Amino acid sequence: MTARQSPPLRPLTERLRPDNTPLSLAEYERHGGFQGLRAALKMGPQDVTGMVKTAGLRGRGGAGFPTGVKWGLVPMGPEAPKQKYVVANGDEMEPGTFKDRLLLEGDPLQFIEGMIIAGYAIGASIGYVFLRAEYTLAAQRLLAAMAECEARQLLGRNILGTGFDFTLYLHTSAGRYICGEETALLNSLEGKRAVPRSKPPFPATAGLFGKPTVVNNIETLCNVPHIVHYGADWYRDLSAKTTGNADGGTKLYGVSGKVKHPGCWELPMGTPARAIVEQHAGGMREGLQLRGFLPGGASTDFLTAAQLDVPMDYDSIAKAGSRMGTGLLIVLDDKTPLLGMLRNLEKFFAIESCGWCTPCRDGLPWTERILADFEAGRARAGDIELLRQQTRLLGPGRTFCAHAPGAMEPLQSALKHFPQDFEAALRGTEGD
Amino acid sequence: MLTPDELREIEHELSHYAQPQAATIEALKIVQKHRGWVSDEAVADIATALNSTPATVDAVASFYNLIYRKPVGRHVIHVCDSVSCWIMGQTRLSELLKARLGIDYGQTTPDGRFTLLPICCLGTCDRAPAMLIGSDTHRDLESVDAARLDALLERYP
């Protein structure tokens, strides 16, 4: 960690200490902190949004929606509603994902700076951090950093003497994966059951308490100060120059499963999965082969060992038949039973269904039971076709939100890439 | 009746929101922090404090897995049973815990010390399998044995 003059290559994690203890406000400012906010406050709000749009920043929470476009949908000007909100989605609960925890525990001020800039860009005077309950260390460090900012007029009224007011509140949640869905999150923040809302209207026009609201992921917001400080062109140039990669910036990638060194690293957007698994995670443990991987959490389609060279950017992964999701890989090795892994995944989604719509509430436990039959050698002829049918009936367009379609992604891709596992389980049943 | 401390803390949270009902989850957590769990009576008292109804507050309380509507032990153990921990040996960890504590998921030890529950991904998958005891995250439990587990549990009297 050194004070630097030239723009950083790993802007989000460069300031992190090896033990991940956060910087004080004074230290943060010595290392370039709040330069982005100071620059933003000298620009018009719409120019800040334009800059984020030009930079090509896409949402890091899973959906990959362009952040500047999202901000641009918020009504601005004298006719716009007076009260607007920015909400940070820190409900990191996608199985296999542990990047926002790192950013919040290690550098809460960077996140706060991004949050204030987002508030300025859309004209919001109040921000909420929606944080999952279990991240107690992140909560402590955030509250300490917020207090430091309030004492130095970086949060609250008349920020840095510019007349811009922005108050930040921390809301710690009480569990449930569905809170990560942005409209379910807004209901939860309003003190209700976290059931997703019908869209449209989108939160940009009618969000928290019916007011225009932007919901952004923690990692997404951490990119913002750097974009404003160093510029959109610098940001675009950070990404890997791999074929088909239209995205800018860096990405926090990670690996869990039976690799030698599981972890999380900030790398150029579009780094190939092979480099992440083999170089950064040290490859598979002795005696194990990689069979497949979920590229971005539990709700993404399996890719296979033959697809390891795919660049980990939104478009390239989509072309390979999956989704970037959160960008943290879960690795399936050749000794871990695929059917057991699938059953674990579908049980998770079944438990975490909010129960609002029938296909999801009833279809997910049914799917889990069929997989349990395969696992226990009780599956019957026709059950493979039944599973395929589930992936259609619980797929996009059939349910109220993306929960059940997400749950079908690992299943449909397992049926496509690894049909032999299902067939072998059936043969075992017939042999009894 | 909510205690003066509980009411004061709830009032503080109320000031963060445009509508009082928005503080429902905070109010439930405040009561639970003081009492360990949320009784029917507390649900009704929270409803009164927030100008809401007991049915509305209970609908919220019963939705969230970290609000307890039944008494729990002094320390709640949450074992992550999501996919990365499962790959890294969570089943073994859960079985060992159940054996050492003599209880199944959803149960409390007879001395009222521990309640055992599963929980979804704790966001520490690079150091799986993991579990929470109270608010402490314990990691790297792949090769934990009975002796090490007992030593860990000893820290929670």
pTM of this prediction exceeds 0.90:
yes
A276-321: pLDDT as tens digits: 999 999 999 999 999 999 999 999 999 999 999 999 999 999 999 9
- Does A1 have pLDDT greater than 50? no
Rg of chain A in Å (alpha carbons) = 22
Whether residue A113 lies inside any domain: the answer is yes
ipTM here? 0.97
CB–CB contact B64 A192 (8 Å)? no
Q: To the nearest 10°, the Cα dihedral for B52, B53, B55, B57?
A: 30
For the four alpha carbons of A14, A18, A23 and A29, in that order, the dihedral sign comes to negative
Average pLDDT over residues A143-164: 97
Q: What is the CATH number of the domain that holds A349?
A: 1.20.1440.230
Cis peptide before A200 (omega within 30 of 0): yes
User: Does domain B4-63 fall into CATH 3.30.420?
Assistant: no
Contacts of B18 in chain A (CB under 8 A): 83, 209
CB–CB contact A98 B21 (8 Å)? no
Query: B69 touching A, CB under 8 A?
Result: no
A26-73: pLDDT as tens digits: 999 999 999 999 999 999 999 999 999 999 999 999 889 999 999 999
Quote the pLDDT of residue A429: 66
Strand B131-133, strand B75-80: pairing: antiparallel
Q: What is the CATH number of the domain that holds A112?
A: 3.40.50.11540
Q: What percent of chain A has pLDDT over 90?
A: 94
Residue A93 — very low, low, confident or very high, per pLDDT cuts 50/70/90? very high
Which of A190, A219, A354 has the highest number of chain B CBs within 10 A, making it the mutation to test binding with B?
A190
Quote the pLDDT of residue A430: 57
The number of folded domains in chain A is: 3
- Does A2 have pLDDT greater than 80? no
Q: Distance (Å) from the C-alpha of residue B8 to the closest C-alpha of chain A?
A: 17
B113-127: pLDDT as tens digits: 999 999 999 999 999
Strand order in the sheet with A328-333: A263-268, A250-256, A328-333, A290-294, A303-304
CB B37 within 8 A of CB B69: yes
Domain B75-154 carries which CATH code? 3.40.30.10
The shortest CB-CB distance from A175 to any of B23, B65, B135 is to B65
Average pLDDT over residues A207-224: 98
Two domains, one topology: B4-63 and B75-154: no
Half-sphere exposure (Cβ direction) of A374: Cα atoms closer than 13 Å: 29
- Same-domain status, A272 and A379: no
Which of B13, B33, B43, B63 has the highest number of chain A CBs within 10 A, making it the mutation to test binding with A?
B63
CB–CB contact A190 B121 (8 Å)? no
The ranges of chain B with pLDDT < 70 are none
Whether residue A393 lies inside any domain: the answer is yes
Quote the pLDDT of residue A91: 97
Query: B94 touching A, CB under 8 A?
Result: no
Quote the pLDDT of residue A6: 79
